[in-house]
Structure 1
Amino acid sequence: MEDKMKKYAGYGGLVGVLLLAMGLIYYETGKVWNWFCWVTLILGGIGILGFFVLRFQEIVQKVKRTVQLRSFRYGGNALAISLMFLLILGLLNFLVNRHSVRFDLTKGGQFSLSEQTKKVLKNLNKEVRVTAFYKSDTQRTIEDLLKAYRFYSSKFHYEFVDPDKKPGVAKQYGITAYETLVFECGTKTEKITEKDEQALTNALIKVTREEDKVVYFLEGHGEVDIDSNERLGYSMAKKAIEGENYKVKKLNLATEKSIPSDCSILVVCGAQKLPFSSELDTIHAFLERGGKAFFLIDPPPAEGFVEFFDKWGLKIGNDIVLDASGMGQLFGMGPWVPLVTSYPSHPITQKFRVMTFFPYVRSVTPKESPGNGISVQALLKTSASSWGETDLQNPRAQFNKGKDVPGPVTIGVVVTKESSGKKTRLVVFGDSDFANNSYFRVQGNGDLFMNVISWLAEEEDLISIRPKQPEDRRVFMTAKQAKMVMYITVIFMPLLAMAGGVWMYIQRERK
């Protein structure tokens, strides 16, 4: 009878282990602790406990015999070394958790945040909470990205809520769709359904920004159309500005008579005709009051605002810049599209190491003595192989010494003036085409344009290389290729490992 009980105890212990394993697997799969988990835990515990109680004497005798074996002593040494190894691993794990480091070895830094996002996170001075309304089985699609945000700021917090399991919370936030993110900072909230870095960073900026800033585009003088989707339009630039949560409006000074009080930045882009003197006086007064403006002046025959900019320490060239370096030809562009490959030390171009292209650009250079408390700095210069061609009737790719402007040619400047606590910021480029729909996404053109906007808005933390759209790196296989992969990984490789084990066993038996 006693032997039979011991035999059943062995079966009970085995069943107990299996029940515990089933319960743990069930919980790890669904992350839900319910009656099934309790039943498997209790029955499994009873089975294992019964095994140890009924076979206690036998277990003690086996332990004594094992300890007396010579092999046990060697095994004890191995066990001690193993425990020491595990202790070292545990210590390393503790240090890594306290001082974590991330490495991204993927092509293009697929799992690395952009410099702009890192800046925004490191400059967070408020607590931001993100609630992700995702089903339990889809949370991994966004969790890695949220972890990366958390890594760069202790003030960024997130939690997942399954709308099906917590419908009350979903109703409280007004959630109507799965995979919705809610950003909260103080009294501000922002909902998004996109799950790419750019959408998350823009939502983060929106809830943490103190006030809404407005960018006005001047119109009425042949300026570019910010709503046009055509190649020469500025709809991409407008979308990028709005994407960083600025408001974009149009301004016609012939009807408005004054620049609105909520104007954070005035943009004059590609004007073909010179505004009326009263309009120029209004713009000048706006700048004198500490206003911020971005002028993009095209080459002749477009107006150069020569007299206006003379007051601000600038000389607008009556020329078109050509570049004979041949660099543009590598990108399918001719000498009429100069490249800028290096930049001076300035917040707009800090850590900016990408090329920019300027099709049909004129020179914009600082005067030797700007005067009147004005500071002027060159921001963009073309290569030494470029020049400012002054023969506009017959421009040829040939430099004429003493007549043309020798390179490198300055094509973009920054003007600052501070008086009575008012800080004026002015940026002038000799080209508007570089940020139109044809060139906005070419190399660093769009980033440079947005960096200027951020600097004028006095939001230096947004000056950087912005997030790019994730590259689709999926592997597409035919049915035959998929079957071959399955045969190799599921059948061939396990058989190879098994054959190696059999061969080693046979060799050992022969000895």
Structure 2
Amino acid sequence: METNKRIAAPLFGVLTLIFTFVGIANWIFQARLASWICLLLALVSFIIFVRLRFSAVMDFFVSRQARYGANVALSILGVIGIAVFVNAIVVQRFDKRVDITLNQLYTLSEQTRKILKTVDKDIRVTAFLGQNVPAQNQQRARDMLELYTYETQFVTVSYADPYIDQLLRNKYDIRVDGTIVFESDTRYEKVTTIEEQKFTSAILKLIKDETKKIYFLVGHEEHEIEDFNTEGYSSVRAELENQNYAAFSLSLLTEPDIPADCEVLVIAGPKTALSRHELDIVTKYLARNGKLLLMLDPSLTSAEDANRGLVRLMKRWGITIGNDFVIDETDFVPLFGPSAPVPGFELHEITRAMRDFVAFPITRSVTPAADSPANLSVKSLAKTVGGTQDSWGETERTPDGTFSTEFNYTAGVDTAPPVSVAVAIEQKIDSNNQDEATGASTRIVVFGDSDFAVNAALREANRDLFLATINWLTLEEDLIAIRPLDLQKQALRQMRVQDVQLVQIISVFLIPAIVFIAGLVVWWQRRKGEDV
């Protein structure tokens, strides 16, 4: 019986160590159930070991070896305590980081650090990182947000899965996986691009506590922000208010001038002509660095364009607005046919974040003029995707002034493809001009259609395009200029999940296991020598 105990006791002692080690390893690898099972087996093995070697265990605790061991343990705990105390002091008072990466991946720009030093209220960041966000992008977002929390105590970060945390998803109206919400006590900003420039701009918007005013021209049968019918712009007003803008109606028939606090003047689909007096006011407004969003629908019932005054004004700013009707037989809305084209977006700050298509139910061509002034940057935002014979701007009309129901492309007469339907212009400023720092330059965006933003059509993509346009016009697309890092130029590739797990297994399990087995062999050899 004693012989069996002498053999079994060491076996259960070894099993205790093995189960404990495996349980800790499973806990590290997030295998909670397996970890609890192993720890329970370790406890059972330890109890059996103590039961079999009870007298030896008691003798150990009263032996000289135990006293020496206790003294050593207390000494080690004392040293560890001192080290923790010193480390806490160093972290609080002398916490410094050194970024040795080539492109300073783990260092915020000087502009961002200056802005974060001015933050004096709590900003809560919620990053919605679900399964559709690549692991590399998720890690980059986490690393960057950690840098923000390191720079200021007022920024706190939490993470959520949009497919699990439905309440948070609905609260912030999250539509894109990878959206990061920056929130203060009064409002919030959403960012869908993992860039320092976007993050810092969102924080800057929150701490500025500024409401910009958008004025919508009325008096010419435009779409109105007080109109809740299908053709109204009440939904546009609600979306602007959600973005901390204030929207107002403006009649230049009763007002002598455009208000000084007007950040953007919106002219949405006028059906009657502006008077000379109104055109003069708009002209002077643009001359003093005004911002204009102009949406002109095609003239369908008459060859005489009611908005020819605005068309001539835009010609001076390098934009040619055609008196035509855009057709695209390649990509269009099936319900409305080729007269409702779905253009492709060109590369621009306004369209950079657009992920879905936007249909323009009835649109005219809007094209950068070939002879635009040299001090203007004129860029197309969207063009039809069809080629020759598939897309064009129809200009031929019937004798009564309406367009024919039979669409055929006539070379040399109709507007040739690809047909531009939206244009953005920005006045270039002399680099020596001090106003450049404030972004004081004229900006204009012209769409050949106004119906894409009416209540009946303002779906997600249409809303995003309209808001992106307003943000660009108000200089809110990026409040600071920070050069984005090109992660493709890094020599080291991002570790895959399998690589991370392999390193963890080797460092946490394999190496300690080898040391443990080596120690077990040495112990066994010494024990055999004592028995002899």
Identity of aligned residues (%): 32
User: Which of 305, 310, 313 is the matching residue for 1:308?
Assistant: 313
| C-alpha distance in 1 between matches for 2:146 and 2:243 | 15
Residue number in structure 2 paired with 1:366: 368
TM-score, length basis structure 1: 0.56
| C-alpha deviation, 1:394, in angstroms | 3.5
2:339 to 331, 336, 340: 336
1:84 to 7, 21, 24: 21
Match in the other structure for 2:356: 354
- RMSD of aligned alpha carbons: 4.4
Letter in 2 for 1:258: D
Query: Which of the numbers 317, 325, 330 marks the counterpart of 1:320?
Result: 325
Q: Which amino acid aligns with 2:422?
A: G
**Letter matched to residue 348 of structure 1:** I
The code of the aligned residue for 1:278 comes to: H
Q: Deviations over 1:428-466 (max 9, x none)?
A: 00000011112111x51111111101111111159xxxx
For 2:240, give the aligned amino acid: I
Q: Which amino acid aligns with 1:217?
A: F
Q: Distance in 2 between matches of 1:156 and 1:387?
A: 44
CA contact (8 A) 1:205 1:244 kept: no
1-structure distance, mates of 2:352, 2:411: 34
Contact 2:179 2:191 (C-alpha < 8 Å) held by counterparts: no
Residue segments in structure 2 that go unaligned for 5+ positions in a row: 31-105, 107-125, 139-143, 157-164, 193-198, 480-532
- CA 1:318 to 1:81, structure 2 compared with 1: closer, same or farther past 3 Å? same
Cα deviation, residue 405, structure 1: 1.2
Q: Distance in 1 between matches of 2:168 and 2:355?
A: 30
The Cα of 1:291 is off from its aligned counterpart by 1.5
Q: For the structure 1 residues 285 and 425, does the alpha-carbon distance in structure 2 shift closer, same or farther, using more than 3 Å as the test?
A: same
- Matched with 1:417 is 427
Asked if the contact 1:335–1:397 (Cα under 8 Å) also holds between the matched residues in 2, the reply is no
Q: In the TM superposition, what is the alpha-carbon distance from 1:121 to its structure 2 partner?
A: 12
* Unpaired runs of at least 5, structure 1: 1-64, 94-98, 114-118, 131-138, 158-182, 463-511
Query: How many pairs are equivalent?
Result: 334
SS of equivalent to 2:379: strand
Structure 1's 291 and 103: CA in aligned 2 closer, same or farther, altered over 3 A? closer
1:286 aligns with 2:290: no
Contact kept? 1:122, 1:152, Cα under 8 Å = no
1:428 partner amino acid: V
Match of 2:403 among 394, 412, 419: 394
User: What does 1:87-98 align with in structure 2 at a 5 Å threshold?
Assistant: 87-89=24-26
**Secondary structure of 1:248 counterpart:** strand
Amino acid at match of 2:452: F
In structure 2, give the amino acid aligned to 1:104. G
Match of 2:452 in 1: 434
Take 1:388 and 1:282, find their aligned partners in 2: how far apart are those partners?
31
Q: Deviations over 1:215-274 (max 9, x none)?
A: 000111221121112111111111111111100111111211111111111101101122
Structure 2 length as normaliser, TM-score?
0.54
Change (3 A) 1:66 1:101: farther
1:277 deviates by 2.1
1:413–1:429 contact (8 Å) kept in structure 2: yes
Corresponding residue of 2:502: none
Distance verdict in 2 for CA 1:267–1:122, change over 3 Å: farther
DSSP 3-state at the match of 2:381: strand
- Closer, same or farther in 2 for the Cα pair 1:399/1:197, shift >3 Å? closer
Q: Give the deviation of 1:357 after TM superposition.
A: 0.4
> Equivalents in 1 of 2:128, 2:267: separation in Å?
43
Letter in 2 for 1:323: D
Distance 1:101 1:219 in 2: 41
Is contact 1:128-1:156 (8 Å) kept?
no
**Equivalent residue number for residue 104 of structure 1:** 130
Counterpart in 2 of 1:238? 237
Q: How does 1:2-13 map to 2 (within 5 A)?
A: none
In structure 1, distance between residues paired with 2:10 and 2:384: 77
Deviations 1:190-212 (A, max 9, x none): 6x9xxx999xx9x9998534421
1:152: how far off? 9.0
Report the equivalent of 1:456.
Answer: 473
Secondary structure of the residue aligned to 2:278 is helix
Q: How far has the Cα of 1:401 moved from its partner?
A: 2.0
Query: CA–CA distance in 2 between the matches of 1:123 and 1:460?
Result: 20
Offset, 1:92: 5.6
